[in-house]
Chains A and B, each alone.
Chain A
Amino acid sequence: MQTWETTFNQLMDALMPQLTAGETLAVSLVAEESEFTRFNHAKVRQTGSIENGSMSITLMGNGRSTTESITFTGEKAADWPLLQTALQTLREELPQLPEDTYLVLPEGDDHSREVYDGELLAMDAIAPTLLPQLAGLDAVGLYAGGRCVRAYADSAGQRHWFETETFTLDYSLFTESGQAVKGTYAGRHWDNAAYADNLAAAQTLLEQMSQTPKPLERGQYRTYFAPAAVADLMSMLSWGGIGEASIRRGGSALGPLQRGEKFLSDKIHLAEDFSQGQVPRFNQYGELAPLTMPLIAGGQLKNTLVSARTAKEYGIPSTFAEGGEYLRSPTLAPGTLAEADILAALDTGLYVSNLHYLNWSDRPNGRITGMTRYACFWVENGQLVAPIENLRFDESLYNFWGANLIDLTQEVKFIPEVGSYGFRDLGGTLVPGMLVESFAYTL
């Protein structure tokens, strides 16, 4: 049986010569073979295998552009007729479209190939490996593992292949009263000992959740956010934050920073960093992003995510972002707070492990609302006192990443992406924890 890479390359080698003068073509591929085992109360709820692939073919010509997505099975005999039909459909549609002022034609001859093999659990070993160690626990979660592919080819000569075998185990452990802790174990090589250690750490934290939760009045509290919570807050910048198009069109939360109306702490250093190879460096235009690029340095906006299309519209340089101008491999630089000093530095306030359901409540002003979730504690005089009843917050990033930011931790943690809408997400976020003064809780 052919590999997907061989099939993709053969399809592209056959397709590109079919173009006529004035036609330009770009093809993106996303594909995966995944195992999913979902469990609740440490028992299997649903289990299955999914093999899926989709090719997006963009035809450009005469200043116009149109795209069709079709099934990719990985078998040339099956995929070639669909590809030819798609090309014909696009050719028929192209002349009917209005001219696209901001169309960007691919150029260059960049090639890249990254293949990361893994050692994953075999399908029939997933439940027998995971569940015996969860016996007696109220455990709920999802194991997802398998091969993921992202690829690109165009008629200018660019071609990229990114293939990785990864797994994510995303789980929660619950007490009888409904208090919970979150655990995540992810990587390319499954290790039973590492799984046991991960689970043991979560169980230790769960024991601290057994006390009666402390209800808190709404108000402003000094708060420590663990790295997973910081990653959630940072993810909001992908949604109308760091994208140049959003800033230009008035809706960005970083508009006030860009205009010099509001400021961030000089402790904030945000960058895109592809050096760990978690996600492909190439984007939908076939462009390779720089290995690292500072976005916010010392609280100052240094670069934004600029796609080739936005660059053309506003006559500015591209920073090789995806069309959606979202963060792909973000890192937030550490601070000076030692792990061992977190509780003492917090003194009295909230220790927040995770957040939930974030949304902009006033995006142009950078205000975010959301909930605390999982292992969140009330701390007094540097000692964990009790878990809390979950609180709603509503706070501006210009406060918690601005004047109210006390420090970031020395240690940074990789928070893996565990999402799987459409296809499994790749990569994650490298972030420290952070200590903040006067964070606003509202309900």
Chain B
Amino acid sequence: MTVTPLATTADPMDLLTEAIASLDLPADWVGIRATREESVSRSQRDGKPEGNRRSLQQGAMVEVLVNGQIGYAATNRLTVAGLRQAAELACQQAQAAAPWRIHAFSPEIRPKVLGVYQTFAEKPLKTLTTGHAHELLSRICQGLKVSDQIVQASASISAKEVDTWLVSSSGTQVHQQFSFFTPSFSATAQAGPIVQTRTNNGRGHAYQAGWEFLEVGDELWASVQRIGEQAVELLTAPECPDMTTTLVLAPDQMMLQIHESIGHPLELDRILGDERNYAGGSFVKPEDFGHLQYGSELLNVTFDPTVEQEFASYAFDDTGAVAERQYLIHNGILQRGLGSHESQARLGVPGVACARATNWDRPPIDRMANINVEPGDRSFGQIIGSIADGVYMEANRSWSIDDQRFKFQFGCEYAQRIRDGKLAETVRNPNYRATTSQFWRSLSQVGDRSTWQVFGTPFCGKGEPNQIIRVGHGAPVCAFNNIEVFGGAG
């Protein structure tokens, strides 16, 4: 027997189609989702190589619906025989569990769909040579070391090309080709017991694109120098004061704020209780959709998997649901949740195309994709200029929130006081805490398109068995009234 890498198979869709056609199972529906993931990561610390890793992983998940219950089996033996064996195992799983099923699902939860999707990559990842990658990383490390007080300068890139094929007994045929690029760099400065680290936007540079984000010229090198200088600047900055004040968040902290206190609580599987044993539940109740005043009327939030270059864009989720832009919160009122066809059928509330799996070896669950705060009408200058006394924070460094997604405490890398409508002195170890409802209802100013930036992360964890997923979050600069801020241990 020979297992052929999917990419070199004439058409992997043919293999999956042949496997399904060969089955004779007492099933209402069968689907196969195959994934091939090829990645390269490179890193340097202080201009010296820390890691050079490549990866080529592939496999398939077979799902079988029997008597209203889906059973699954994942295998990396990509032959008709291997897939048949997995299908038979998945069928047995479904049969064994059907008497204890939580819901009688119908085949409509896996709609028939035909389509393709491909990331637009200006500079395809494979064209970034090993030598050039290390040359760039070395130069970034050198640029970060603006002072002898920089005790560590790190830079890395992660490039990943992912193909997914979805084929089902109802006629679905989907092929999606993704290109993910994640550049990251950081500088750590130390003066005796005081240690401060600054990164490029809290390591939030995660894009669906090629490696063009490393070819932005002066902008990149100015950013490198600023990160190094600000790490040193923080060593002598005073602690962030303990006070209740107007808090202004940059988009690289809004990313985390949206993710933890809007994205997760709106996941329908959390509301249904599936996640209560691990990630947690939600303070949001089914009856809240269409009614709950989630935030101030300035708050508009979309699920938008159509934004070019945002990390979690796609045309179809991992069950074949067609991905479309939807308002989750409109003028502050909660509209719909993040829930798959399965969760929508169980809960009876509207959802979105968000059934996603980390890879071929995990079943799809309700996940965020791109969750964005829509821009408002205030420039950065107008926002700061209107605040007599406040704190402006950038870049997440610490995050923690309760299992209902209500009481949170977040910390940032860098902050500045706002005094008399102007950015004033830098302060270090900035943190803030609040409850979700209080926080979003305190939203008082929303930045315009000029302040709007997109970030993302590959590391959103959830699910049993555990899964990580890629998410994207776009946001403008936003201001919040009467928020408790505080500094470090001193």
Q: Is the CB of A250 within 8 A of B151?
A: yes
Q: Is the CB of B361 within 8 A of A50?
A: yes
CB neighbours of A72 from chain B (8 A)? 76
CB neighbours of A141 from chain B (8 A)? 277, 464
CB neighbours of B76 from chain A (8 A)? 51-53, 71-73
Rounded to whole angstroms, the CA-CA distance of A383 and B272 in the bound complex is 35
Q: Is B445 an interface residue (CB 8 A)?
A: no
Rounded to whole angstroms, the CA-CA distance of A68 and B100 in the bound complex is 43
For A251, give its contact among B92, B130, B188 (CB under 8 Å): B188
Q: Is the CB of A69 within 8 A of B54?
A: yes
Q: Is the CB of A71 within 8 A of B467?
A: no
Q: Which residue of A lies closest to B132 (CB)?
A: A96
Q: Is the CB of B74 within 8 A of A50?
A: yes
Q: Is the CB of A356 within 8 A of B280?
A: yes
Q: Is B26 an interface residue (CB 8 A)?
A: no
Q: Is A327 an interface residue (CB 8 A)?
A: no
Rounded to whole angstroms, the CA-CA distance of A364 and B3 in the bound complex is 49
For A171, give its contact among B272, B277, B280, B404 (CB under 8 Å): B277
Say which one of A16-24, A194-202, A263-271, A365-373 lies at the interface with B: A365-373
A369-B403 contact given A44-B69, A68-B55, CB 8 Å threshold: no
Say which one of B192-200, B203-211, B325-333 lies at the interface with A: B192-200
For B90, give its contact among A48, A69, A140 (CB under 8 Å): A48
Q: Is B233 an interface residue (CB 8 A)?
A: no
Q: Is B102 an interface residue (CB 8 A)?
A: yes
Q: Is the CB of B77 within 8 A of A172?
A: no
Q: Is the CB of B274 within 8 A of A392?
A: no
Say which one of A122-130, A328-336, A400-408 lies at the interface with B: A122-130
Q: Is B302 an interface residue (CB 8 A)?
A: no
Rounded to whole angstroms, the CA-CA distance of A296 and B52 in the bound complex is 34
For B1, give its contact among A77, A82, A100, A249 (CB under 8 Å): A77
Say which one of B56-64, B217-225, B314-322, B414-422 lies at the interface with A: B56-64
Closest beta carbon of chain A to B318's beta carbon, Å:
13
CB neighbours of B151 from chain A (8 A)? 249-250
B-contacting residues, A416-436, CB 8 Å: 419-421, 424
Pick from A37, A52, A358 the residue with the most CB of B within 10 Å: A52
For A78, give its contact among B2, B131, B363 (CB under 8 Å): B2
Say which one of B177-185, B372-380, B393-401 lies at the interface with A: B393-401
For B409, give its contact among A43, A70, A101, A369 (CB under 8 Å): A369
Across chains A and B, the number of contacting residue pairs, with CB separation under 8 Å, is: 256
CB neighbours of B411 from chain A (8 A)? 361-362
Q: Is the CB of B48 within 8 A of A261?
A: no
For A43, give its contact among B102, B152, B278 (CB under 8 Å): B102
A127-B77 contact given A50-B361, A390-B407, CB 8 Å threshold: no
Q: Is A136 an interface residue (CB 8 A)?
A: no
A51-B52 contact given A43-B100, A127-B97, CB 8 Å threshold: no
A102-B48 contact given A69-B56, A362-B429, CB 8 Å threshold: yes
Q: Is B99 an interface residue (CB 8 A)?
A: yes
Closest beta carbon of chain B to A118's beta carbon, Å:
18
Q: Is the CB of B102 within 8 A of A47?
A: no
Rounded to whole angstroms, the CA-CA distance of A97 and B137 in the bound complex is 12
A443-B1 contact given A96-B129, A364-B193, CB 8 Å threshold: no
Q: Is B114 an interface residue (CB 8 A)?
A: no
Interface 0/1 of A77-99, CB less than 8 Å to B: 11001100010011001001111
Q: Is the CB of A69 within 8 A of B72?
A: no
Closest beta carbon of chain B to A2's beta carbon, Å:
12
CB neighbours of B403 from chain A (8 A)? 356-357, 371, 373, 390
Q: Is B466 an interface residue (CB 8 A)?
A: yes
Closest beta carbon of chain A to B352's beta carbon, Å:
20
Rounded to whole angstroms, the CA-CA distance of A394 and B49 in the bound complex is 37
CB neighbours of B361 from chain A (8 A)? 50, 52
Pick from B5, B272, B466 the residue with the most CB of A within 10 Å: B466
Rounded to whole angstroms, the CA-CA distance of A392 and B404 in the bound complex is 12
CB neighbours of B138 from chain A (8 A)? 98
Rounded to whole angstroms, the CA-CA distance of A49 and B352 in the bound complex is 27
Closest beta carbon of chain A to B216's beta carbon, Å:
23
Q: Which residue of A lies closest to B272 (CB)?
A: A40
Q: Which residue of B lies closest to A178 (CB)?
A: B281
Q: Is the CB of B130 within 8 A of A394?
A: no
Closest beta carbon of chain A to B270's beta carbon, Å:
11
Pick from A39, A69, A141, A364 the residue with the most CB of B within 10 Å: A364
Q: Is the CB of A69 within 8 A of B407?
A: no
For B400, give its contact among A180, A259, A357, A419 (CB under 8 Å): A357
A364-B102 contact given A78-B1, A420-B466, CB 8 Å threshold: no
Q: Is B21 an interface residue (CB 8 A)?
A: no
Rounded to whole angstroms, the CA-CA distance of A68 and B188 in the bound complex is 30
A52-B400 contact given A43-B100, A47-B93, A78-B77, CB 8 Å threshold: no
CB neighbours of B54 from chain A (8 A)? 66-69, 89-90, 93
Q: Is A29 an interface residue (CB 8 A)?
A: no
For B193, give its contact among A259, A359, A392 (CB under 8 Å): A259
Q: Is the CB of B74 within 8 A of A48?
A: yes
Q: Is the CB of A392 within 8 A of B72?
A: no
Q: Which residue of A lies closest to B79 (CB)?
A: A78
A65-B2 contact given A124-B96, A178-B281, A419-B466, CB 8 Å threshold: no
For B488, give its contact among A65, A178, A261, A367 (CB under 8 Å): A367
Q: Which residue of B lies closest to A172 (CB)?
A: B277
Rounded to whole angstroms, the CA-CA distance of A250 and B431 in the bound complex is 21
Q: Is the CB of B73 within 8 A of A142?
A: no
CB neighbours of B134 from chain A (8 A)? 97-98
CB neighbours of A126 from chain B (8 A)? 96
Rounded to whole angstroms, the CA-CA distance of A365 and B433 in the bound complex is 19
Rounded to whole angstroms, the CA-CA distance of A1 and B433 in the bound complex is 57
A-contacting residues, B114-163, CB 8 Å: 129-131, 134, 138, 151-152
Q: Is the CB of A359 within 8 A of B274?
A: no
Interface 0/1 of B439-463, CB less than 8 Å to A: 0000000000000000000000100
Q: Is the CB of B193 within 8 A of A255?
A: yes
Q: Is A54 an interface residue (CB 8 A)?
A: yes
Rounded to whole angstroms, the CA-CA distance of A96 and B129 in the bound complex is 9
For A421, give its contact among B130, B280, B461 (CB under 8 Å): B461
Q: Is A189 an interface residue (CB 8 A)?
A: no
CB neighbours of A47 from chain B (8 A)? 69, 71-72, 93-94, 96-97
Q: Is the CB of B102 within 8 A of A44?
A: yes
Q: Which residue of B lies closest to A46 (CB)?
A: B363
Pick from B70, B272, B278, B490 the residue with the most CB of A within 10 Å: B278
A98-B53 contact given A40-B274, A140-B277, A421-B461, CB 8 Å threshold: no
Q: Is A214 an interface residue (CB 8 A)?
A: no
Pick from A37, A182, A359, A361 the residue with the most CB of B within 10 Å: A361
For A69, give its contact among B53, B69, B71 (CB under 8 Å): B53
Closest beta carbon of chain B to A110's beta carbon, Å:
24
A69-B55 contact given A101-B48, A249-B188, CB 8 Å threshold: yes
List 11 other contacts, CB 8 Å, given A43-B100, A126-B96, A361-B409: A37-B97, A40-B273, A45-B102, A47-B69, A50-B73, A50-B74, A51-B75, A51-B76, A69-B55, A98-B138, A365-B490
Listed by A's residue number, 9 A-B pairs whose Cβ atoms lie within 8 Å are: A40-B274, A47-B93, A67-B53, A142-B465, A249-B188, A250-B195, A259-B193, A421-B461, A442-B433
> 3 shortest A-B CB distances, which residue pairs?
A48-B72, A365-B489, A43-B102
> Contact residues of B with A, CB < 8 Å?
1-3, 5, 48-49, 51-59, 69-77, 86, 89-90, 92-97, 99-102, 129-131, 134, 138, 151-152, 188, 190, 193-195, 197, 272-274, 276-278, 280-281, 361-363, 365, 398-404, 407, 409, 411, 429, 431, 433, 435, 461, 464-468, 488-490
> Contact residues of A with B, CB < 8 Å?
34, 36-41, 43-54, 64-73, 75, 77-78, 81-82, 86, 89-90, 93, 96-102, 123-124, 126-128, 131, 138, 140-142, 144, 170-172, 174, 178, 180, 182, 249-251, 255-256, 259, 261, 356-362, 364-367, 369-371, 373, 390, 392, 394, 396, 419-421, 424, 442-443
